[in-house]
Amino acid sequence: MNATSSTSIVANGLSSNGATPPTGQSECSFNDSHREPTNFAVVAQNGFSHPPYQMHNEEIVHHLYHAGFQTGNYADTILHVHQNTYRLHAIVLSRSPLLAHLMSTSPQSGAQRVIYVQLEHEPEVTQEGFAIALGYLYSSVSLSLIRPDNARGVLAAGCLLGGMDELCGYAYDACRQSINVETINEWLEFIDTIPSSPDGSLTPELSLTSVFGHFAQRLRDDVFHFLVVTLPNALEINSSESDPSQGQTGRDTLLRVFSLVPFDMFKSAVESRAFEIGSDQARFKFAKDVIEVRKRGIARGHGAEETVVLAFGGGHPGGSAVHVTRKIRKRPLWKVNS
């Protein structure tokens, strides 16, 4: 096979395939317990450095990532995705079940095989996320490129390509840690796209329709926990007696956030005993205020009316005395005179 110059395609479709390791970082293994990079060259074990073949393995991985993935030398496979073109290598791409399937089923003509990854129906798979996932097929150095702002795109790409449990785990952790008061609106929009049954669990069809698979439920649970436990504690809702002004500010923030929560999650959160914002009367007043705001926003135009009731004598075991309901407004009937 002759060497193939990558000058005709700018660094394999993107600048360094959209995945350039941070300055000074080399390909390395990752410690599973702490998820920190470990350089084989400096770690000693039982008083001895690692055997030379491990350094040799690292050099091979470094060469594959730089010469193979970043520059596309000696490529035998052309991959088209989004508006980008990658010069890659079939033996490495075969680590992905999806790409292995595409290579084995796509008609070929010429010396190089050509495959197309269609992402029109996968909006969560971003260009950067896909590039990082592709790079992971060549080297674990791609894990160092995951950030809070690109983690969901990486997770989607990793789930789509398959065979990337470690990459998906890192990306999922970054997603979970990125849920905060500044990003919660974006996460609520994401959660609202995930179909669920009335009890809040995922519908059976989700595994077939969502690229995230079981991570969709985990992310949904993480957002719910943030709304019910983390956010009220961070806003010090229960500490309003010591600082009334701070308590009111925190309550206003909580009210604004809950006014954007999808109804099923809003109902489950308000009725959850883990949602500690004071007495049942305080919970009832909060839910009532949220519904008033929702009438002017998220609930408007849905043809439904949301209400909240306080059950005197306490609610069902394990739940609260506050219950939120929603009923569909009946359309007015018009009598037609003959």
Instruction: Say if CB 95 and CB 24 are below 8 A apart.
Output: no
Q: Are residues 171 and 28 in the same domain?
A: yes
Could you tell me which residues come within 8 angstroms of residue 97 by beta carbon, excluding any fewer than 6 positions away?
A: 161, 162, 163
On whether residue 277 sits in a domain, the answer given is yes
Q: Is residue 335 part of a domain?
A: no
- Which structure tokens are listed for 114? 């050509």
Take residue 112 and report the two structure tokens written for it.
């190089």
Residues 170 and 197 occupy one common structural domain = no
- Is residue 245 in a domain? yes
User: Does residue 338 sit within a domain?
Assistant: no
Are 120 and 225 part of one and the same domain? no
The boundaries of the domain holding residue 308 are 179-328
Q: pLDDT averaged over the chain?
A: 80
- Which of 139, 121, 135 has its CA nearest to residue 79? 135
100 and 148 belong to one structural domain = yes
Mean pLDDT in order along the chain per 10 residues (338 residues)? 41 53 49 44 51 84 93 95 94 97 88 92 94 96 96 97 96 97 94 68 50 93 96 81 63 93 92 90 92 76 71 57 78 59
Let me know: does 198 contact 264? Beta carbons within 8 Å.
Answer: yes
Same domain? For 116 and 194 the reply is: no
Chain-centroid distance, C-alpha 133: 14
Domain boundary among 119, 140, 175: 175
Asked if 150 and 193 sit in the same domain, the reply is no
DSSP 141: G
Are 291 and 308 a contacting pair, CB within 8 Å? Answer: yes
- Contact yes or no for 254/236 (Cβ under 8 A): no
Phi, psi dihedral angles at 229 (to 5 degrees): -115, -55
In degrees to the nearest 10, what's the CA dihedral of 163, 165, 167, 171? 130
Number of domains in the chain: 2
My answer on whether 18 and 106 are in the same domain is yes
Distance between CA atoms of residues 337 and 142, nearest Å: 72
Are residues 166 and 203 both part of a single domain?
no
The answer to whether the CB of 260 falls within 8 A of the CB of 296 is no
- Tell me the C-alpha distance between 296 and 275, whole Å: 24
274 shares its domain with 316: yes
Q: pLDDT tens digits, residue range 67-81?
A: 999 999 999 999 999
DSSP assignment letter at 65:
I
Q: Structure pTM?
A: 0.77
In a domain, 155, yes or no: yes
Identify the pLDDT of residue 2: 44
CATH code for the domain in which residue 166 is found: 3.30.710.10
Q: Could you tell me the maximum CA-CA distance found in the chain, to the nearest angstrom?
A: 100
Please say whether the beta carbons of 169 and 213 come within 8 A: no
Question: Are 154 and 222 within one domain?
Answer: no
Q: Do both 24 and 149 map to the same domain?
A: yes
Helix (H/G/I), strand (E/B), else coil: 25: coil
Domain boundary among 129, 153, 175: 175
Is 1 inside a domain boundary? Answer: no
Residue 3 domain flag: no
- Domain C-terminal end among 175, 208, 240: 175
**189-220 as b/e, with b when 16 or more CB fall inside 10 Å?**
ebbbebebeeeeebeeebeeebbbbebbbebb
Write the burial class of residue 39 (CB in 10 Å: 0-12 exposed, 13-18 middle, 19+ buried): middle
H-state helical runs in the chain:
52-63, 90-93, 97-105, 127-138, 151-161, 165-177, 184-192, 206-209, 214-225, 231-234, 244-258, 263-271, 280-295
Q: Are residues 162 and 256 in the same domain?
A: no
